[in-house]
Chain A
Amino acid sequence: MQRREFLKSAAVLSLAAALPRSAWAEEVVFAPKPGAWRAVDLVTKITVEKPDGKMQAWIPLPSVTESEWVRNGETTWTGNTASATRARDSKYGAEMLHVTWKENEAAPVLEATSRVEMRDRAIDLSKPGKVAPLSDAERKLNLEGTALIPVDGIVKQTSDKIVAAANARSDIEKARAIYDWVVENTVRVAATRGCGVGDVAAMLKTGNLGGKCADLNALYVGLTRAAGVPARDVYGIRVIPSQFGYKSLGAGSSNVTKAQHCRAEVFLEGFGWVPTDPADVRKVMLEEPPANLAINDPKVVAARKTLFGAWEGNWIPYCRVARIRSSAS
């Protein structure tokens, strides 16, 4: 290294060491912005082991289309199925491929390929604009309780406490307060099966606020709905790495078999559906190298700041309902 370069580097290091922690946080760039579209072919291959009797399968298909951030292309499939039919859930619009095999099929197999284009989302929450209000039906759907996400009882009580403690009055203040509460009071548990069950009332009753994305973001959705603000989960899968270097927030390779991820949206007047993901803040804390980061670690601070209002377009949304089979029409 040349002496001049060394002195320059040393000066930078000295300056960095003297910086307060908040200044370090400013150096972590996590800033998704709507820009170029990216396209991915997502391939799902299914094999039924030990074939026996009647066999059938349901494969989730990307079925969320939003002109600003996700476009679905063609889905094709191959295999030795006896039938293959696209089905659509009438309530949530979730699509799936329902296939059956003959009873004597020795090696049932199905491979489906979906082309999806997506890009980053980012809402400037300092600049409200004119946004069409939700229809009465949409508002009702995204405020109502479900079997696993009730909006009364302990969920309502907890939501009221959070909102009161934060002195939150507007929808955006309530949504933000609940986001912060979920980030600060939950924990990601690596041993959770899949993305978690999302039994919000059980989480609050037991005080066990651990889980994965379908637990933590369902908790966010339930608490937010209970505060009278429309919210919904979006179930999908990470398909490409994070362009901001977050290893925990992107696909680690082309094999995305275990990369399912649930995000959330909240509807705010003046902004429309706003992307959010408190569960991913906890994921950064647990998994981002060197792992077990503190809540004031710059990478966590940057993720927390960004994931209320933005998310990266490295993830394909499937649908807005957790379980596809029972919802098939």
Chain B
Amino acid sequence: MYPQAERASLLLDCHDPDNFKYALTAKEVKAS
């Protein structure tokens, strides 16, 4: 369930923040 990415056809390590940076944020909003 982690984002995945490839650079120059090589899969980046999704746990290596020096090469593949991502951030997830969650904000509660009003339910419909």
Cross-chain contact B3 with A58 (CB below 8 angstroms): yes
In the assembled complex, the Cα of A51 lies from the Cα of B8 at a distance in Å of 8
Cross-chain contact B2 with A60 (CB below 8 angstroms): yes
Hey, which chain A residues are within 8 Å of B6, CB to CB? 54-57
In the assembled complex, the Cα of A254 lies from the Cα of B28 at a distance in Å of 9
Interface size bracket, A side: 35 or more
**Set A46, A50, A195, A254: member contacting B19, Cβ < 8 A:** A50
How many whole Å from B5's CB to the nearest CB in chain A? Answer: 4
- Which residue of the partner chain A has the closest CB to B9? A54
Hey, which chain B residues are within 8 Å of A254, CB to CB? 25-27
Sample of 14 A–B contacts (CB below 8 Å): A37-B31, A39-B28, A39-B29, A41-B26, A43-B26, A48-B20, A58-B3, A58-B4, A73-B32, A117-B32, A237-B1, A257-B24, A260-B2, A318-B1
**Set B7, B14, B18, B32: member contacting A55, Cβ < 8 A:** B7
How many whole Å from A75's CB to the nearest CB in chain B? Answer: 14
Chain A interface, >50% SS class: strand
Q: How many residues of B contact A (CB 8 A)?
A: 28
Cross-chain contact A43 with B24 (CB below 8 angstroms): yes
Which B residues lie at the A interface, using CB under 8 A? 1-9, 11-12, 14-15, 18-32
Given contacts A194-B15, A260-B1, contact A52 B25 (CB under 8 A): no
Which 10 pairs between the two chains have the least Cβ-Cβ distance?
A53-B8, A239-B26, A57-B5, A235-B1, A39-B31, A37-B31, A325-B4, A47-B21, A52-B8, A58-B4
Cross-chain contact B31 with A322 (CB below 8 angstroms): no
Given contacts A194-B2, A194-B15, A324-B1, contact A50 B7 (CB under 8 A): yes
In the assembled complex, the Cα of A43 lies from the Cα of B27 at a distance in Å of 8
Hey, which chain B residues are within 8 Å of A235, CB to CB? 1
Cross-chain contact A59 with B25 (CB below 8 angstroms): no
Q: A46-B3, A235-B1 known; 13 other A-B pairs, CB under 8 Å? A: A40-B26, A40-B27, A43-B25, A45-B23, A48-B7, A48-B12, A50-B19, A54-B9, A57-B3, A236-B1, A237-B1, A256-B26, A257-B25
